Amino acid sequence: KAGVTQTPRYLIKTRGQQVTLSCSPISGHRSVSWYQQTPGQGLQFLFEYFSETQRNKGNFPGRFSGRQFSNSRSEMNVSTLELGDSALYLCASSAGTSGSSEQFFGPGTRLTVL
């Protein structure tokens, strides 16, 4: 079974631009979660989608948004980029309908904002 894939792996943007990151979950998985990893704040939960609906949300500003498609693929979008948005963005997928199902992580997208 193929693992979680994320595209692109690396991205460089400038302040004020917007960016869209993509995540393809493991086949059959219906839940996709997004996390931001920075040296200062560590790993922080952004949001989770299940069957195209946002099921849970972290404490991030409205500039961070996401969506999930009928094939469970998910995208997250960050608008009006700030320098502090530079981070590794990790996507995780899980199989079950309960929130406690084991999550499998992708390799991440490293975003650099200049």
Partner 1 sequence: GNSVTQMEGPVTLSEEAFLTINCTYTATGYPSLFWYVQYPGEGLQLLLKATKADDKGSNKGFEATYRKETTSFHLEKGSVQVSDSAVYFCALLYSSASKIIFGSGTRLSIRP
Helix segments in the chain, DSSP class H: none
- Spatial separation of the C-alpha atoms in residues 53 and 7, rounded to whole Å: 21
- Spatial separation of the C-alpha atoms in residues 104 and 15, rounded to whole Å: 31
Query: Of 11-19, 60-68, 72-80, 95-103, which part binds partner 1 (CB under 8 A)?
Result: 95-103
- Least separation in angstroms between residue 42's CB and partner 1 is 5
Which is nearer to partner 1, 15 or 111 (by Cβ)? 111
Which is nearer to partner 1, 14 or 38 (by Cβ)? 38
Residue 84: both structure tokens together: 């502090």
- Spatial separation of the C-alpha atoms in residues 108 and 64, rounded to whole Å: 16
- Spatial separation of the C-alpha atoms in residues 17 and 89, rounded to whole Å: 17
Residue 28 binds to partner 1 (criterion: CB under 8 A): no
- Least separation in angstroms between residue 48's CB and partner 1 is 5
Residues within the interface to partner 1 (CB under 8 A): 4, 31, 33, 35, 42-43, 45, 48, 50, 55-56, 58, 90, 92, 94, 98-100, 102-108
